[in-house]
Amino acid sequence: MTDFMDIKEQYRQFGISEAVYEYGQEILNGLQERFKQIDRTAEYNQLKVIHAMQTANVSEACLLGTTGYGYNDLGRDTLEKVYAAVFQTEDALVRPQITCGTHALALALMSNLRPGDELLSPVGKPYDTLEEVIGIRASKGSLKEYGISYRQVDLLSGGGFDYEGIRAAINDRTKLVTIQRSKGYQTRPTLSVAQIGELISFIKGIKPDVICMVDNCYGEFVETKEPSQVGADMVVGSLIKNPGGGLAPIGGYIAGRRDCVENAAYRLTSPGLGKEVGASLGVLPAFYQGLFLAPTVTASALKGAVFAANIYERIGFGVVPDASQSRHDIIQAVTFGSPEGVIAFCEGIQAAASVDSFVTPEPWDMPGYDSQVIMAAGAFVSGSSIELSADGPIAPPYAVYFQGGLTFPHAKLGILKTLQNLMDKGVVTQDFRRQENLS
């Protein structure tokens, strides 16, 4: 049996003081029931994934991959059947040629909208990188350049839907509604699957033929249901987030109605080719095994988010979700109110990494954002935010967004390291009270 003091010594090697370690242990002692609930959800989703793989007859031959055109790629086509089964949709497009989550969302939008159509967001401003896709900020090839207009209805002050505003916004040109499940760089609540279902039902009651798309990034496997099970016509996400399980080196997915997925496939490749081409190269083992691991990896990240919320709420910082709220994605927002807090937090995450722990993250002008952004991600897969990571814009209210952790022990180390760094930088005092001059 491991000696308790030996573990404390391990943390001391990372510069974690006894005070920070003991504070973390005190927090953890009160989280056991929450963690059991997370484990039960992970078990449910693990069985769901295994059943989908068995139903699709996943075989060793599915792991081999193809080159060139990729015709008759058994593994690729079977994987898409697995995703369709997991998300309970008619079809799915799961490809390494989809480079990231923003690309997957842009692909779903551009393939299902036509000049003269209007895109509606009933949940306020989308994530920063979609602003250029839509044309909110001018960019080459945006929807706006193709004559596709955009309208949004902001959430109410308490985070609820403005149903009357949504009703007024829907018109004859409204073709597609995009619903961002996660908060992005905002401090609004993440939407639950139940809330998304209620919103879709309301919208379909007004205009039944409208396409409802959900940006599912960071939300997969957090609940036992996905938005596609409550009326979404498409769910879209990135494989270097939850569903890739930390193993997928690239990729994205679109799961949904067959016609919507088919449109996306023709846009991804070429008219006349669609899903028939697109070699899987050597990524299929990582795609399959990553999906297999995704429920338990997501659970580890979720535990890390809950731990972080409890650590920082008790100190006095604003956290979204708060320490006791139900969870609908893996992201934890912490508002520091100062650039120093955001930077010190990200430095702590980077220092806890297995890869590039010696690197000091700095704010920079990252493509797709309208302010400087700092990102901490010492990852095995570059930019993978299912791995221990944190990022945030250097702009008011100076909030950092923490996510990931392939294992809970790594997430725990990362959070304790952030607190230690905040203390070392003077943002948090030794007795864990916020300094008044940084409020």
Look over the chain and give the mean of its residue pLDDT values, rounded to a whole number. 95
Quick count: other Cβ atoms within 10 Å of Cβ 22? Answer: 11
Query: What average pLDDT does range 165-169 have in this prediction?
Result: 98
pLDDT of residue 431: 73
Of 437 and 163, more confident: 163
CATH 3.90.1150.60 for domain 4-44+292-438, yes or no, is yes
Task: Retrieve residue 319's tokens.
Answer: 């956290």
* Intrachain domains 4-44+292-438 and 67-281 with the same fold: no
Least confident of 87-91, 154-158, 286-290, 303-307: 154-158
The answer, yes or no, to whether residue 422 has pLDDT greater than 80, is yes
pLDDT of residue 87: 98
- How large is the angle between the packed helices 74-87 and 32-55, nearest 10 degrees? 130
CATH of domain 67-281: 3.40.640.10
* pLDDT, tens digit, 9 for 90 and up, residues 379-416: 999 999 999 999 999 999 999 999 999 999 999 999 99
Say how many residues make up the chain.
439
| Strand-strand pairing, 149-152 and 399-403 | unpaired
DSSP for 199-262, please give it: HHHHHHHH-TT-EEEEE-TTTTTTSSS-GGGGT-SEEEEETTSGGGTTT--S-EEEEE-HHHHH
**Hey, where are the domains in the chain?**
4-44+292-438, 67-281
Helix (H) or strand (E) holding 290: helix 284-315
The answer, yes or no, to whether residue 247 has pLDDT greater than 80, is yes
pLDDT of residue 365: 87
Closest CA to 251 of 142, 126, 93: 93
* pLDDT, tens digit, 9 for 90 and up, residues 343-358: 999 999 999 999 999 9
- Which band of pLDDT confidence, cut at 50, 70 and 90, is reported for residue 429? confident
